[in-house]
Structure 1
């Protein structure tokens, strides 16, 4: 059976985890052929991790996204940022490459979401949204199909994870405080890389403009604690996910890739 080709855009810790799974033969239906990162060293590191195994794979690090697209990989794994996804998604989909992404925050932009949908339909490609650090997207999707519903997304974080945002202040190191309340569009605008999961939950249910999001900063807190709640007249579902590290996001990519080629899909 001919293997499906893979490329990775964004070569940080999550990409490294995916490659570890690949090297452990958890993705036997794929061949990883290309990497790209704005850091040439990181892209080369990921390629070297593939090439130093006995898998027989030949992975090349590239200096531009366009070089990766020219390879026409079957799937592009994106672990970079919403802005990076916006940069290459339309070209990739039109070029015949499907995408597995963690940067769902990009889809809070309705115009971009619509253009991606249109382009993928026109070229027979797809965008697969990995669940990242949450779960229950199937439940959210199902409840939303039943009719009118409402949904909320609550997350608890360390103040250190908010340092690069406008809400950060030193007092957060000593006091627990709700630092944000709004919808998913407002949340991703304020926290471009740390609340992608709220957009994923909203797209699966009530839409980014209707998903009510709150973020609480807790001193000395480690990891992320997410609670998603959705209600209609018949169903009340709550999904709680705590993760000490971001590793679950990387493993959700591995799970998505396995589902793509599996005869039985979870």
Structure 2
């Protein structure tokens, strides 16, 4: 029996996920929730545009692919309706109010995706017994992928004209997601894995030589010392996001549709 799902958002990640759904009859897309008219591609593909009530009536799982604001806007209603909520924009959980309303409530269940990184299972296991004290994340991306609306003309020019790696941010996951909401969801993911966002320190580097998006994760504590290096292709349509993000959503949906024998 197919698992009915609806997507929130009609951008690059949602489009990539739709492409990945081909060949998986156990996953059925019933439509997309979007504030805006659907893209020409979605229209050509015959995708239905739904409001949230329609999505809640017809889908068992709602997949967020629209940004941190969408998690706060829709999440509490989805969970209150008893539905499963698969979240891409984990950075939303840097806000304790959103975390309480969406991640810590019910009767529905929220499933943050692993997104662009791995090793979260190991870090979570070690942290569960107090075995992790510090986690450091160093992320490298092309300068153009890090341009933000809040940057002035001088900041943008300096970033785009840099010929050497430049540190553009250093701080906590909450600070990171406020400044770079599409680029550092992984920082909040690490905070959720450890159970404490304050244990994580983030450094974001604009590197003109970075053909791939790189995340270097180090963690240590009583349980041991761990190091993970992840180098992903950026999403071709949205370089701020990893190309792995849509694949991570697909993997999460398959775990929900076929839970037996899957790692959790």
Whether these two folds match at TM > 0.5 is yes
Unaligned runs of 5+ in 1: 52-58
- Could you list the per-position Cα deviations for residues 132-151 of structure 1 after superposition, in whole angstroms to 9, with x for gaps in the alignment? 11111101101111315211
Conserved in 2, the CA contact under 8 Å of 1:225 and 1:243?
yes
CA distance in 2 between partners of 1:179 and 1:141 (Å):
28
Query: Aligned to 1:135, what secondary structure does the other structure show?
Result: coil
Matches within 5 A, 1:185-264: 185-245=174-234, 246-262=242-258, 263-264=260-261
Q: 1:165 to 1:205 in 2, by over 3 A?
A: farther
Equivalent residue for 1:60, pick from 48, 52, 55: 48
Q: Which position in structure 1 is the counterpart of 2:15?
A: 16
Query: Aligned to 1:132, what secondary structure does the other structure show?
Result: coil
Q: Which position in structure 2 is the counterpart of 1:40?
A: 37
RMSD: 1.9
Equivalent residue for 2:60, pick from 71, 74, 81: 74
Normalised to the residue count of structure 2, the TM-score between the two structures is 0.87
Conserved in 1, the CA contact under 8 Å of 2:136 and 2:201?
yes
CA distance in 1 between partners of 2:93 and 2:2 (Å):
30
Q: Which position in structure 1 is the counterpart of 2:157?
A: 170
Conserved in 2, the CA contact under 8 Å of 1:183 and 1:212?
yes
Q: Which position in structure 2 is the counterpart of 1:133?
A: 116
Q: Which position in structure 1 is the counterpart of 2:98?
A: 112
Conserved in 2, the CA contact under 8 Å of 1:176 and 1:217?
yes
Aligned residue pairs: how many? 249
Equivalent residue for 2:26, pick from 11, 24, 29: 29
Conserved in 2, the CA contact under 8 Å of 1:35 and 1:46?
no
1:158 aligns with 2:146: no
Unaligned runs of 5+ in 2: 235-241
